[in-house]
Amino acid sequence: MKILNAILGATALAALSLVSTVANAAGFPERQITMIVPFAAGGPTDTVARLVAEAMSKDLGQQVIVENVGGAGGTLGAARVANAEKDGYTILLHHIGMATSNTLYRKLPYKTLEAFDYIGLVTDVPMTLLARKDMPADDLKGLVEYAKANKDKVTVANAGIGAASHLCGMLFMSSIQTALVTVPYKGTGPAMTDLLGGQVDIMCDQTTNTTKQIQGKTVKAYAVTSPKRLDVLKDLPTVKEAGLPQMEVGIWHGMYAPKGAPKEAIDKLNKALKVALKDTNVGARFAELGTTPSPDADATPEALKAKLEGEIARWKPVIEAAGQYAD
């Protein structure tokens, strides 16, 4: 049977390629762990998840398998974890959307602040404010002036409602107190294509998507939204330096378990997360993407809980002012 052979072949290869590691002593984890990523494979969040999952596997002595459950702005995957067995074998890696979906979606099937236990913050990916290559303005001040003077003409692209670029675009408009023309796309790819082609004027997106374009000078970059300049883009000023401190924002990623998971599991997962974030490979790959692993102080359940609560409060008025909901 060809079909059976196909499956056997694939499994055999998968098994071969997975580097097995020394098993932990008894207790959690006794079998593989599933890490749900609420977005499609290949995207920036998936990349972060896979890098971290691989490093965590080594510490836990069990494979951490990434499963992509995309759809509805990440809320399908989050719902899946909220309803999963509360044994710590199903965990969630989600980004800032965990906080914003609480306002963007008025009918969530789970209560964001009550349905999850926290494992820790994973990373905080900065955003970069970009414009088409032939944008006349040379610095952020010039861009803001240009945008204000041409507010009926200037277009801001984003990758769809709830996307990082959508949030950052809203933040830009609320920071300069000017409503520009929003142009949504289905995903970052087509939005970036139109920015490269000069079809749209401005976009703000994660460094994971923009660093190479900035280095290749195919777009004009104005500022990075992190508190410090990035090593990979040394010439790019921070929003604070460029005069828009209220635009400081990061696409933070956190790791969660369903509420009620055993404490032993949470502790072990948290320890594995901390080990993974110090892994040299993870650090090097993160750096190429323009981000850094969260320090020990942030990779804790307490820090993630505080972040989530703070960010829900921060984005609620911004989203409500824009008046656009995703349900």
Partner 1 sequence: MDLFSNLALGFSTATSLENLFFCLIGVLLGTLIGVLPGIGATATIAMLLPITFQLEPVSSLIMLAGIYYGAQYGGSTTAILINMPGESSSAVTAIDGYQMARKGKAGAALAIAAIGSFFAGTVSTFLVAIFAPPLTQIALQFGAAEYFSLMVVGLVSSIALAHGSIVKALAMVALGLLLGLVGTDIYTGTPRFTLGIREYADGLNFVAVAVGVFGIAEILRNLESEKTRSVLMSKVSGLLPSKEDFRAMIAPVLRGTVIGSILGILPGGGAILAAFASYTVEKKVSKHPEEFGHGAVAGVAGPESANNAGAQTSFIPLLTLGIPANPVMALMVGAMIIQGIVPGPNVATEQPALFWGIIASMWIGNLMLVVLNLPLIGLWVKLLTIPYYVLFPIIMAFCAIGVYSVNSNVYDLYSVAFFGLIGYVLSKLRCEPAPLLLGFVLGPLLEENLRRAMILSRGDPSTFVTRPISAALLFFAALVLVIVFLPSVKKKREEVFVEED
- Residues 182-201 interacting with partner 1 (rule: CB under 8 A): 183-187, 189-190, 192-194, 196-200
Q: Please identify, using beta-carbon distances, which residue of 111 and 186 lies nearer to partner 1.
A: 186
The distance of closest approach from Cβ of residue 208 to partner 1 in the complex, given in angstroms and rounded to an integer, is 7
Q: How far apart are CA 297 and CA 279, in angstroms?
A: 16
- Residues 212-231 interacting with partner 1 (rule: CB under 8 A): 212-213, 215-216, 218
Count of residues that bind partner 1 according to CB under 8 A: 71
Q: Please identify, using beta-carbon distances, which residue of 130 and 303 lies nearer to partner 1.
A: 130
Does position 202 interact with partner 1 (CB under 8 A)? The reply is no
* Residue among 83, 29, 97, 18 at smallest CA distance from 61: 29
Q: Please identify, using beta-carbon distances, which residue of 225 and 291 lies nearer to partner 1.
A: 291
Does position 178 interact with partner 1 (CB under 8 A)? The reply is no
Strand partners, 323: none
| Other Cβ atoms closer than 10 A to 236 | 22
What phi, psi does 113 have (nearest 5°)? -85, -10
- Residues 34-93 interacting with partner 1 (rule: CB under 8 A): 40-44, 46-47, 50-51, 54, 66-73, 75-76, 79-80
Residue 69 in contact with residue 81, Cβ under 8 Å? no
Indicate if the alpha-carbon torsion angle 32, 72, 165, 226 is positive or negative: negative
The distance of closest approach from Cβ of residue 253 to partner 1 in the complex, given in angstroms and rounded to an integer, is 15
Q: Taking the CA of residue 68 as centre, how many other CA atoms within 13 Å lie in the half-sphere pointing to its CB?
A: 14
Q: Please identify, using beta-carbon distances, which residue of 127 and 304 lies nearer to partner 1.
A: 127
- Residues 142-171 interacting with partner 1 (rule: CB under 8 A): 152-153, 155, 160-161
Q: How far apart are CA 5 and CA 29, in angstroms?
A: 31
- Residues 2-41 interacting with partner 1 (rule: CB under 8 A): 2-3, 5-6, 9-10, 13-14, 17-19, 40-41
CA-to-CA dists, residue 39 to 62, 68, 150, 171, 208, angstroms: 23, 6, 36, 23, 15
Does position 106 interact with partner 1 (CB under 8 A)? The reply is no
The distance of closest approach from Cβ of residue 300 to partner 1 in the complex, given in angstroms and rounded to an integer, is 26
Q: How far apart are CA 54 and CA 25, in angstroms?
A: 19
SS3 202: strand
Q: Please identify, using beta-carbon distances, which residue of 43 and 301 lies nearer to partner 1.
A: 43
Residue 39 in contact with residue 23, Cβ under 8 Å? no
Instruction: Give the H/E segment covering residue 323.
Output: none
Does position 283 interact with partner 1 (CB under 8 A)? The reply is no
The distance of closest approach from Cβ of residue 167 to partner 1 in the complex, given in angstroms and rounded to an integer, is 13
Does position 124 interact with partner 1 (CB under 8 A)? The reply is no
